[in-house]
Structure 1
């Protein structure tokens, strides 16, 4: 987009879509791409006469409008990609995944975390012990997979990733201050929780061997 007004407008729309993904709908359907992206462009152009004029010009240029919408829509993939990258760094220590276990033990622990959605709970003990043979006797196996099931969505990975993504020095939530009436990030909407959970889960799946 060579026109400066177009660049400013697309950046504003991109920014508004990041907010929309984080605060309203973490996973908008592709069928809603044009409607959602255009609404974000309109919000981004709010009270800016040059951007509003550019919006009106875009409506008459279907090719450029399509390119702008594609760019704005890409904000969702970018945001989710940033979270997945941060999750890759944080997950091993956050879930205390032991480094000395066998491949089979790690597989069992990860299956337990993923399939039963225990990854959202705190106080996880993902240690798995399997039957050991001592001469003629086989001891009963111990499966020490436990967590605080009465505290869903309270695993430390959630505040950690939310803080690093939105409350860091340049984070969007940080810029909006500490007042609830002006900062919708303060009460941690469920969309943020969903984004974090779906960033953590694929990394755990990636560690597994199905």
Structure 2
């Protein structure tokens, strides 16, 4: 893919896959990679309204070798963006949780990931949003504040929570825990996404306040984030909701 149109298409494909991973599906199914990538690429090129890209897409559709190469490159965007994110989490999580100052035998993943009085409000969450997507070249910045796909987004928050869990596991066990689909896809989908959907249903005002705090933090460049690895039954949704409503009045 040497010509300018091919480079443009490859760049567009890679960016579309990265955005999809962060904002829609943290761990896309590898068995569906070709259909996922192709559908995303069709949408991305259509949005560009570029006749050259449309022509190139028709050409690629009839060339299975070129199509396979492009989709393989595109899929790497998903692995890459998770790799960048977990790298920041591994650096940031231990000092923000004070893990280096605690004896390993006294560390508990469940305790570190849980704060039933202020769930989803540990500073590390806001910090990772800012570090990953609001740096000088952060992708989150370019979308502006209104209707930003990275903010007020359950899949993005679930991905951040997964990365914190992975980094904590590594810090507690003094090792590097990998961050692949096989290990964390189920956690993202069946734990964090489900838990966030419960919050959205049972305590929408509280969850909106969580997202508002993240929004304010990333745009104001402040450093100011607990996660829940506990049963949904431990949360007092009514109390959280009432407290959030009271703070708005």
Q: Is the 8 A contact 1:167 1:173 kept in 2?
A: yes
RMSD: 1.8
Q: Is the 8 A contact 2:23 2:150 kept in 1?
A: yes
- Matched with 1:64 is 66
Q: Is the 8 A contact 1:10 1:71 kept in 2?
A: yes
For each residue in 1:27-62, what CA deviation from the matched residue of structure 2 results, as whole angstroms up to 9, or x when unmatched? 111122111111221122121111111111111110
Q: Is the 8 A contact 1:15 1:75 kept in 2?
A: yes
Indicate the structure (1 or 2) with the bigger Cα radius of gyration.
Answer: 1
For each residue in 1:87-128, what CA deviation from the matched residue of structure 2 results, as whole angstroms up to 9, or x when unmatched? 1210111111143x5xxx31440xx21xx3x4444xxxxxxx
- Matched with 2:35 is 35
Please show how residues 127-206 of structure 1 align to structure 2 within 5 Å. Answer: 148-180=115-147, 183-187=148-152, 189-206=153-170
Distance 2:144 2:100 in 1: 39
Q: Is the 8 A contact 2:23 2:155 kept in 1?
A: yes
As a proportion of its length, which structure holds more strand? 1
Give 5+ residue unaligned stretches, structure 2.
176-249
Please show how residues 82-161 of structure 1 align to structure 2 within 5 Å. Answer: 82-99=84-101, 101=102, 105-109=103-107, 112-113=108-109, 116=110, 118-121=111-114, 148-161=115-128
Q: Is the 8 A contact 2:133 2:141 kept in 1?
A: yes
What number of residue pairs does the alignment pair up?
A: 172
The two structures have a TM-score, normalised by structure 1, of 0.75
As a proportion of its length, which structure holds more helix? 2
Distance 2:40 2:21 in 1: 11
Q: Is the 8 A contact 2:24 2:156 kept in 1?
A: no
Per the alignment, do residues 107 and 63 of structure 1 end up closer, same or farther by CA in structure 2, a change over 3 Å counting?
A: farther
The two structures have a TM-score, normalised by structure 2, of 0.64
Question: Where do 4+ consecutive residues of structure 1 move more than 6 Å?
Answer: none
Give 5+ residue unaligned stretches, structure 1.
122-147
